[in-house]
Structure 1
Amino acid sequence: MRYTRLGHSGLQVSALALGCMSFGEPDQGGHRWSLPEDESRLLIRQALDHGINFFDTANVYSNGSSEEIVGRALADFAPRDEVVIATKVHGRMRPGPNGGGLSRKAIFAQLDASLRRLGTDFIDLYQIHRWDPEVPVEETMEALHDVVKAGKVRYIGASSMFTWQFAKAQHLAEGNGWTRFVSMQSHYNLLYREEEREMLAFCADQGIGILPWSPLARGRLTRPWGDTTRRSENDAFGSALYDTDSGDRAIVERVAEIAESRAVPPAQVALAWVTQKSPVTAPLIGVTKASHLDDAIAALGLDLTQKEMDALEEPYLPHPVAGHTIIR
């Protein structure tokens, strides 16, 4: 495993982050395909054995069950100061007023709930899980600054939004002496490259780490076009992200061709492409099998040639913006 700094911060993270949406009791929340605790623990332990120190979850994953499982596993398998725990806030955790969003009240309440579920005194990277148009961004940024100063959070990050929104938040933080975001979780993979228009360039210029989510396009880059899995058949969010061909089939076929020529699984090729794109810091890999994690680790050692990179990118056609809104 290799390690890198998250943007211009001093935080060192593994070049792969384990996305923990796959871990959670299937009867809680909306992820019926998620893994129960006993199966999740095996994969978390495997990730640690591979040198992964970066674990990303969210309060809404399996209605908090993901945080509980990840927190217990990491407490059992690793010293707290050797792992980087990231979680998120925004999604609705209960009905009624203030049950979600990025108000000061919601952030304070949801952070304390996440700390309890994770069984830790602090979050290494606390991220806003999308933009909240109903709350003044000044309120959100000051609240995030306050939880950092209270010692409950070490760094803050953001996830999919328009670049102007992200720039506005950073500008307000800088102007008021508040804590700035050190990372951006972007929807970015071979089937969705709209982030290359502005967001990636902005983050590179500002020294902000990029953490791509869905780097394998919900598995669509890992299997023949048209094949489905239990997750893809029950993943409404994934269907909303990738509901049209728009040149996607040609890209999937290119991945398969290069994988065959390299004698490696398609997942390795698709993930290697992401890791070789600047300014990517660490893609968030979701796994439900040990082989998925093995492929991700192997992808770090797969150096694609410029000719192969060009071949993978050539069929791409512009896509509508996707991923800025959470669908449950």
Structure 2
Amino acid sequence: MEYTKLGRSGLEVSRLCLGTMGFGTPGEWIHDWVIDEDASREVVKTALDAGINFFDTADVYSRGGSERILGKHLKDMADRDEIVLATKVNGRMHDGPNGEGLSRKHIMSAIDASLERLGTDYVDLYIVHRWDYTTPIEETMEALNDVVRSGRARYIGASAMFAWQFLEALHVSEQHGWSKFISMQNHYNLLYREEEREMLPLCRAKGIGVTPYSPLAAGRLARDWNSTSQRAESDFVARQKYDSTQETDHRIVDAVGQVAESHRATRAQVALAWLLAQEPVASPLIGATKPSHITSALPALELELTAEDRALLQEHYVPHQVVGPQ
């Protein structure tokens, strides 16, 4: 396994991160393709055996189920001091006007609830899941700073927002001497490259580590265009992201297949190798629900794409509607 600093921080993370949105109880949340505690145990063990030290979850994943499962497995199998554990805040966790968002009240309640579910005294990275249009950013950043100062989080990060919003948050932190975001977890892959316009240049300029989610476009980059999967059939969130651009996206998927064949690699390895080479990507999230999803991704760390490969993979991309920040 390779490791890298997350942005300009001193935090060392594996170049692949295990994303655990797929951990939970089938039928309990919006996704029915999730795996339960028993099935997920081997996935976490495989990740640890591969040298992955970076694990990502969120309070809303299976309504806390992902945090409970991941926390239990890591407590049983890992050295906490070497694990980089990330979770997120913003999504609705209970009924009522204070059950979601980035107010001071919700953040302080949410971090305590996440720590209890995870079975730990702190998280290494506490991420705002989306922008909160109803709470002043000053209130949010001060609350996050207090979470760090209290020892309940070591660092803070952000996910899926517009570049102007991210810059505003960074500026407010700088003004007040508060903890600043060290990472951006955004929607970025060969089928969705809108982040290259504003967000990635901003992250490069500010020394922010990028940890893209959906690196394989919910599996679309990992298989032939005409094949399918259980997730492809049932994941309506992914369908909302990608179905409208199928007419152009299939050309990119075909190009991934061509490059994979030329390198005797898998499509997933090619898509990941391309992403890992993009600056300032630190660690893409691998949403594994099978141990093989991890073991098959590892060769991407050593796969070197040529300039011709990259040109072929990128030439068919056309502008897409923005998906993620809203």
- The bucket for the TM-score relative to the shorter chain is over 0.9
Once residues 274 and 66 of structure 1 are traced to their aligned partners in structure 2, the CA distance between those partners, rounded to angstroms, is: 26
Q: How does 1:1-328 map to 2 (within 5 A)?
A: 1-244=1-244, 245-325=246-326
Change (3 A) 1:248 1:91: same
Once residues 141 and 20 of structure 2 are traced to their aligned partners in structure 1, the CA distance between those partners, rounded to angstroms, is: 26
Q: How many residues get paired?
A: 325
Counterpart code for 2:278: K
Secondary structure of the structure 2 residue equivalent to 1:115: helix
Secondary structure of the structure 2 residue equivalent to 1:147: helix
Deviation for aligned residue 1:240: 1.2
Deviation for aligned residue 1:246: 4.9
Once residues 76 and 291 of structure 1 are traced to their aligned partners in structure 2, the CA distance between those partners, rounded to angstroms, is: 21
Q: Deviations over 1:230-262 (max 9, x none)?
A: 112221211111022252110000001111122
Deviation for aligned residue 1:6: 0.3
1:246 touches 1:319 (CA, 8 Å); kept in 2? no
Deviation for aligned residue 1:226: 3.7
Once residues 187 and 69 of structure 2 are traced to their aligned partners in structure 1, the CA distance between those partners, rounded to angstroms, is: 25
Deviation for aligned residue 1:227: 2.7
Deviation for aligned residue 1:27: 3.3
Deviation for aligned residue 1:214: 0.3
Secondary structure of the structure 2 residue equivalent to 1:242: helix
Once residues 234 and 135 of structure 1 are traced to their aligned partners in structure 2, the CA distance between those partners, rounded to angstroms, is: 34
Once residues 230 and 249 of structure 1 are traced to their aligned partners in structure 2, the CA distance between those partners, rounded to angstroms, is: 19
Deviation for aligned residue 1:86: 0.2
Deviation for aligned residue 1:176: 0.8
Once residues 312 and 99 of structure 1 are traced to their aligned partners in structure 2, the CA distance between those partners, rounded to angstroms, is: 43
Once residues 101 and 176 of structure 1 are traced to their aligned partners in structure 2, the CA distance between those partners, rounded to angstroms, is: 22
Once residues 321 and 45 of structure 1 are traced to their aligned partners in structure 2, the CA distance between those partners, rounded to angstroms, is: 36
**Range moving further from structure 2, 236-245 or 307-316:** 236-245
Secondary structure of the structure 1 residue equivalent to 2:55: strand
Return 5+ residue gaps in structure 1 as ranges. none
Once residues 246 and 301 of structure 1 are traced to their aligned partners in structure 2, the CA distance between those partners, rounded to angstroms, is: 32
Secondary structure of the structure 2 residue equivalent to 1:38: helix
Once residues 99 and 65 of structure 1 are traced to their aligned partners in structure 2, the CA distance between those partners, rounded to angstroms, is: 17
- Could you state the TM-score of these two structures normalised by the residue count of structure 1? 0.97
Q: Deviations over 1:53-106 (max 9, x none)?
A: 000000000110000000000000011101000000000011111111111000
RMSD in angstroms over aligned alpha carbons?
0.9
Secondary structure of the structure 2 residue equivalent to 1:125: strand
Once residues 223 and 304 of structure 2 are traced to their aligned partners in structure 1, the CA distance between those partners, rounded to angstroms, is: 21
1:255 touches 1:269 (CA, 8 Å); kept in 2? yes
1:246 touches 1:317 (CA, 8 Å); kept in 2? no
1:267 touches 1:296 (CA, 8 Å); kept in 2? yes
Deviation for aligned residue 1:124: 0.3
Once residues 37 and 80 of structure 1 are traced to their aligned partners in structure 2, the CA distance between those partners, rounded to angstroms, is: 19
Once residues 20 and 190 of structure 1 are traced to their aligned partners in structure 2, the CA distance between those partners, rounded to angstroms, is: 22
Once residues 313 and 196 of structure 1 are traced to their aligned partners in structure 2, the CA distance between those partners, rounded to angstroms, is: 12
Counterpart code for 1:287: A
Once residues 108 and 228 of structure 1 are traced to their aligned partners in structure 2, the CA distance between those partners, rounded to angstroms, is: 42
- Could you state the TM-score of these two structures normalised by the residue count of structure 2? 0.98
Once residues 237 and 27 of structure 1 are traced to their aligned partners in structure 2, the CA distance between those partners, rounded to angstroms, is: 15
1:58 touches 1:66 (CA, 8 Å); kept in 2? yes
Q: Deviations over 1:163-191 (max 9, x none)?
A: 00000000001001111000000100000
Secondary structure of the structure 1 residue equivalent to 2:155: strand
Secondary structure of the structure 1 residue equivalent to 2:188: coil
